[in-house]
Amino acid sequence: MDIRLTYRVALCLLLAFLMDSCQERIIFDFGNIERRLVVDGFITDSMKQHKVRLTYSTELMEPQYEENATLIIRDELGNSHFLTYEGEGSYVTDFMAAEEDTRYKLLIYLGDSLFETGYEELPKGQGTVLEVGYTPEERLLVSGNSDLVDEEGVRIRGTIFREDQPSYYQWIIEHWFVGHAWQAPVNGWKRRCYIKDYDLHRVLLSEDEPGEGQSSDSYDVELEFIPISEKTWEGFVSRIRRLQISESSYEYWSYIREQVENVGSLFDVAPRNIYGNVFSSITAEPVLGYFGVYREMTKDIYISDTLLPFRERHYDCIIPPKITPADSANSCEDCLFIGAEHVQREKPDWWK
């Protein structure tokens, strides 16, 4: 999960811990907030390095990371995977994959304290095939001036195939695109970059309950709508990762989604106490956060304006005034300075 969403989730969890009534006038003294550990991470059945992030809920302006913990993922047979710290509160495993009929737990050694989870295992069922697609369409959206405008774009969808037992899913979406420095030479090395956009800051969940009288064995769910822009001009990728999660994990993330969507208004529903499956083995006190063991499937959707039935668009860029030497580093003349989470000149190995 992106660190900004992790931080926002941590804030929601903290507010949920502090507020147990909307009937009283509450004055927050943020300088005296209790320092609480927040755990966020999971492993899946995909062979790769998995990540667990540790942060604290005390800093409201900047996230505070835990950098000195020892993390171990241990299975019920006693096999252990030690995690390595990589920065910004993130700890990564070696290359591993969760296996069938094996349960795993997370242990966090922090000074004299030990935090852990109970044993978790892959959700029941083998997981259905992941199918995704897109449909060009126009829809009314609210502009920055609060006006309704027709917006051309594509609707991204995922297909849910029903199983014999209830199934729960979390969707994680990354956006990559070809960015252009429109004032750089057309064939120059500063013209085109491959860019990972900022995180979407959303919690996308799906639930499927088998039942009688259902008209089909599958149905589509809308995952997002992508407006046409210069990001889609040459190449845009929606990288869709579907996690099949447990019922308890689904309930936890449903509460998180509710609080993330509600934070921001005095008239929002009061946050509830939200705890996950991590606790102190000394005091048995719950810790904020969740560690899961999930099934994972990933697919990419490639979009280009040339493949869409919309009007042709042209883009340009106005070079800013070059008052100081530093002003020469601008996104009009060098794509490496386009604002994003990650920018690289080289084409990723997985890009078609």
Q: Does domain 3-125+247-294 have CATH number 2.60.40.10?
A: yes
Burial status of residue 323 (CB atoms within 10 A of its CB: 0-12, 13-18, 19 or more): exposed
Report the pLDDT value the prediction gives residue 294, as an integer from 0 to 100.
Answer: 97
- Check pLDDT > 90 for residue 229: no
> What is the rounded average pLDDT for all residues in the chain?
83
- The b/e string for 189-222 (b: 16+ C-beta within 10 A; e otherwise) is eebbbbbbbebeeebbbbebeeeeeeeeeeeeee
- Check pLDDT > 60 for residue 1: no
What is the Cα–Cα distance from 57 to 38, expressed in whole angstroms? Answer: 7
Half-sphere exposure of residue 146: CA atoms within 13 angstroms, side-chain side? 0
| 104 or 152, higher pLDDT | 104
- pLDDT one-digit tens code per residue, 322-346: 888 777 789 999 999 999 999 999 9
Report the pLDDT value the prediction gives residue 72, as an integer from 0 to 100.
Answer: 98
Where do you find CATH 2.60.40.10 in the chain?
A: 3-125+247-294
Percent of the chain with pLDDT over 90: 51
- Check pLDDT > 90 for residue 41: yes
Report the pLDDT value the prediction gives residue 124, as an integer from 0 to 100.
Answer: 84
Half-sphere exposure of residue 44: CA atoms within 13 angstroms, side-chain side? 20
User: How far from 191 is each of 20, 154, 183, 214, 341, CA to CA, in Å?
Assistant: 54, 26, 8, 52, 19
The arithmetic mean of pLDDT across residues 131-160, rounded, is 85
Beta bridge partners of 113: 110
- pLDDT one-digit tens code per residue, 242-278: 999 999 999 999 988 887 777 654 444 445 557 889 9
> For the packed helices 3-18 and 247-262, what is the interaxial angle rounded to 10 degrees?
90
- Check pLDDT > 50 for residue 28: no
Which 8-state DSSP code applies to residue 213? T
Region of poorest pLDDT, from 19-28, 119-128, 327-336: 19-28
Tokens found for residue 50: 């998995």
